Chains A and B, each alone.
Chain A
Amino acid sequence: MTTQHSPNPGSPALDPKIPPGPIQDRWDDHKFSVKLVNPANKRKYDIIVIGTGLAGASAAASFGELGYNVKVFTHNDSARRGHSIAAQGGINAAKNYRNDGDSIYRLFYDTVKGGDFRSRETNVYRLAQVSNEIIDQTVAQGVPYAREYGGLLDNRSFGGAQVSRTFYARGQTGQQLLLGAYQALMRQVEIGPVELYTRSEMLEVAVKDGRAVGVVVRDLVTGEITAHSAHAVVLATGGYSNVYFLSTNAMNCNATAVWRAHRKGAYFANPCFTQIHPTCIPASDEHQSKLTLMSESLRNDGRIWVPVDPDDRRAPNDIPEDERDYYLERQYPAFGNLVPRDVASRAAMRMIEQNRGIGPLKNGVYLDFGEAIGRLGRAKIEERYGNLFEMYERITDEDPYEVPMRIYPAPHYTMGGLWVDYNLMTTVPGLYAIGEANFSDHGANRLGASALMQGLADGYFVIPNTINDYLSDYLNTKPVPTDDEVFMQAVAQVREREQQFLDINGTRSVDYFHRRLGHLMIDYCGLARSREGLEKAIAEIQALKEEFWRDLKVLGTNDSLNQSLERAGRVADFLELAELMCRDALDREESCGGHFRVEHQTEDGEAKRDDEDYAFVSAWEWVDSATPQALHKEPLTFEYVPPSQRSYK
């Protein structure tokens, strides 16, 4: 069975708008060749930004500084709470402050290779270029990065790289960078160009004559549905790992904004490219609401192992050195414990499949700091990872200074997202997607400390320089008024959908369906995927969706703060997205990065890519509720980093 449908003749073609010329010059050339909006005219434009994570906050702040009128919406109670805040380890930049052979080119190279050759070279090069500016900008904002005694910035290493290029602020780098962006945003709120709407969730995009002209938003406190119009709409709403129910994403992370955009014509790219992070705390029971990540930076000093004997029931500290299998160091001597995330996760999965897992549920592997504490002393380890160790102890009630941590892979990041061109515009003109919400820079696997880099690159440096290309065509035009039919319709649709949820009056809660969906997805579209499993999953998701719309129970009203109602809308969208993820995974008959098809592996169980047939971006076009999405392909060419079998041995 193939799920592929040929695109409609009338649907937009994929034009990535990659500038010509040598890759080093493309971004500068592009900035020169795009149309500009002069400073005095910027205040004539309205821009809507959805989301206040790193990408959204940095974009909204930068737009405000440039002089645009900005409305920014977040479902959180403050713009300081986006889930970027939970990123722990750090942010990459090609500063080469360590004198260890780093360069923009090497960061570019590592990222393309780390993404398993499924990303756009030109985008990745730009990302590496602006990485340095991000560090400069955030230092100027007062982000308290770790310093050395001389007062200069400190670095550490991260998975997938052989240089030390990661800047960090203890184990709270994401928090500090987000607060920097949030503060820049609040400054613009104070000065005036930015209007901030908190506890407001975007539920629909308004598209008129093929262009995005505004959004429909629900006030989560009063339930009021309002329309907002603008010249352009920027989605910075993050990823969709919560489709797995148990993930490291925050409880309220959702895909509704991107999914609504997808249904209005934005193509969804590479939905099956998801990242399962190797170092999370294993689940303890079936009531668990989410999984907690332990920063990848722990792999700098921690050593991963399982007992050689699967039936070894001794406490970890009682197992002698020669009866431990440091399997990453054994299998990948060059990178050892610092192999990229997909490799580390799959290696852990194999150990557990071989019944060599540890812990009461045999669902983890050890991450051991015994050797590092012996070498560096407890104080040094505490300085580097103190807050992570504390967090671990609170959750598990075990002291990681004494007993090795137990870790297991968990869904963490989604490389897939809305398809965007080099300007970060989706296939709907005027609609942009930035940060994790787009698909662009990480290919099939994201390297550690690159998500913060991409979110901020998009928000601070890319979109403020590309959105003008579109806006300049609409100089002296007013945004579509919010009493236009397109808005009235969108508002009515949102109201109707809410009413539907309330009217079903079945027997099961939203979480019940979400949990079941999560189980299906992690089993069949998680670390390892097979044709048989994916086909089964698609059938089961469809059945679950039908059951959801028949048996859901949402109490309360739609004119008040109603958390069940909020979740119902999000899970309804996850159900549709999950199906597309499985279809995409089914279509991609190769293994690459986070997408591992069991049918396509080498003899020693490594991912086997098919560059001949699958060196493309899958971009799915919404047709209608009854018809599966149509597939468009954006071919990927590699002029600078010739595809090779990734080897971390």
Chain B
Amino acid sequence: MTTTERRPNVHRRQRWEDWLGGFFSSSVGLKWLMAITGIGLLLYVLAHMIGNLKMFQGAYEGGEYAIDLYGEALRSLGGDLVPHESILWIFRIGLILAFVIHIGASAALTKRNWDARGTDRYEAQRHYAAANYASRTMRWGGIIILLFLLYHLADLTFGWANPDFVYGAIYDNVVASLSRPPVAILYLVAQVALAFHIYHGGWSLFQSLGFVNPRYNVWRRYFAIGFAALIFIGNTAIILAVWTGAVA
């Protein structure tokens, strides 16, 4: 045998993949994209969580809720210099792009991985020694987060899933939504999925970007744990506070 031609070539590059020197058609390039968009999404999740903490601030003396004002401030970013909501929409489009790229890349990689793995599976139960629950559930976790996100938009952005929805009245909308126990439970489940996703993704992105240095490597894991915990604690605090009536 010299070079074996019967060997299946798992990934033949498509024509459209050749732009930018093939970087974005390579798995390493796609993982890089996932890491970059992942960082964007992490920042968004962090900002979102901080903003939501305004729920605890309740109402100002004028009767206006802090979080409602915060929402209005977001919509009127740029003041009178730009049309209303335009800056917010730029952020939203960026966010949507990040989601689409993150999910698209992961779908493409998943397909390749399944092809590479083939149909013959191991008979014996595999003993995963290093892979953890979080790393092995990234795909399912991601799907749960996506489904939740769609519900969340329908619930609190567009109001389709929330009969008492009033545009701009964020505080009342959140209270109305999370006072229903099934919804609160759904939100909690999503937070668990998100925490797991960040626990692995927040570490994995350093590998994908090539931030490796034995001296600092341990901090990558601390970062992922810390970030996942921060988001989880912040968000669940709000959910539980509303559900239990501490914030009403």
Task: Give the B-binding residues of A (Cβ under 8 A).
Answer: 195-200, 219, 221
> A198-B1, A221-B1 provided; 7 other pairs, C-beta below 8 A?
A195-B2, A196-B2, A197-B1, A197-B2, A199-B1, A200-B1, A219-B1
State the CA gap A197–B2 with chains docked (Å).
5
**What number of residue pairs across chains A and B have CB atoms under 8 A from each other?**
9
What's the minimum C-beta distance from A193 to chain B, rounded to whole angstroms? 14
User: Could you list 9 A-B pairs, sorted by A, with CB under 8 Å?
Assistant: A195-B2, A196-B2, A197-B1, A197-B2, A198-B1, A199-B1, A200-B1, A219-B1, A221-B1
What's the minimum C-beta distance from B70 to chain A, rounded to whole angstroms? 58
What's the minimum C-beta distance from B51 to chain A, rounded to whole angstroms? 53
State the CA gap A219–B2 with chains docked (Å).
10
What residues of chain B lie closer than 8 Å to A199, measured between beta carbons?
Answer: 1
Chain B 40-82 against A: per-residue CB contact (8 Å), 1 yes, 0 no? 0000000000000000000000000000000000000000000
What residues of chain A lie closer than 8 Å to B2, measured between beta carbons?
Answer: 195-197
Task: Give the A-binding residues of B (Cβ under 8 A).
Answer: 1-2
What's the minimum C-beta distance from B4 to chain A, rounded to whole angstroms? 9
Q: Is the interface of B mostly helix, strand, loop or mixed?
A: loop
State the CA gap A328–B1 with chains docked (Å).
51
State the CA gap A197–B1 with chains docked (Å).
5
State the CA gap A221–B2 with chains docked (Å).
12
State the CA gap A199–B2 with chains docked (Å).
9
State the CA gap A196–B4 with chains docked (Å).
11
What residues of chain B lie closer than 8 Å to A195, measured between beta carbons?
Answer: 2
* 9 interchain residue pairs of minimum CB distance: A197-B2, A198-B1, A195-B2, A199-B1, A196-B2, A221-B1, A219-B1, A197-B1, A200-B1
State the CA gap A196–B2 with chains docked (Å).
6
What residues of chain A lie closer than 8 Å to B1, measured between beta carbons?
Answer: 197-200, 219, 221
What's the minimum C-beta distance from A363 to chain B, rounded to whole angstroms? 38
State the CA gap A147–B101 with chains docked (Å).
46
What's the minimum C-beta distance from B226 to chain A, rounded to whole angstroms? 34
State the CA gap A332–B1 with chains docked (Å).
53
What residues of chain B lie closer than 8 Å to A197, measured between beta carbons?
Answer: 1-2
State the CA gap A195–B2 with chains docked (Å).
7
What's the minimum C-beta distance from A224 to chain B, rounded to whole angstroms? 10
State the CA gap A359–B2 with chains docked (Å).
48
State the CA gap A199–B1 with chains docked (Å).
7
State the CA gap A7–B2 with chains docked (Å).
42
State the CA gap A356–B14 with chains docked (Å).
72
Closest partner residue, chain B, to A196 (CB atom): B2
What's the minimum C-beta distance from B196 to chain A, rounded to whole angstroms? 36
State the CA gap A200–B1 with chains docked (Å).
7
What's the minimum C-beta distance from A185 to chain B, rounded to whole angstroms? 13
What's the minimum C-beta distance from A549 to chain B, rounded to whole angstroms? 31
What's the minimum C-beta distance from B6 to chain A, rounded to whole angstroms? 11
What residues of chain B lie closer than 8 Å to A198, measured between beta carbons?
Answer: 1
State the CA gap A624–B2 with chains docked (Å).
36
Closest partner residue, chain B, to A220 (CB atom): B1
What's the minimum C-beta distance from A71 to chain B, rounded to whole angstroms? 9
State the CA gap A199–B4 with chains docked (Å).
12
What residues of chain B lie closer than 8 Å to A221, measured between beta carbons?
Answer: 1
Closest partner residue, chain B, to A199 (CB atom): B1
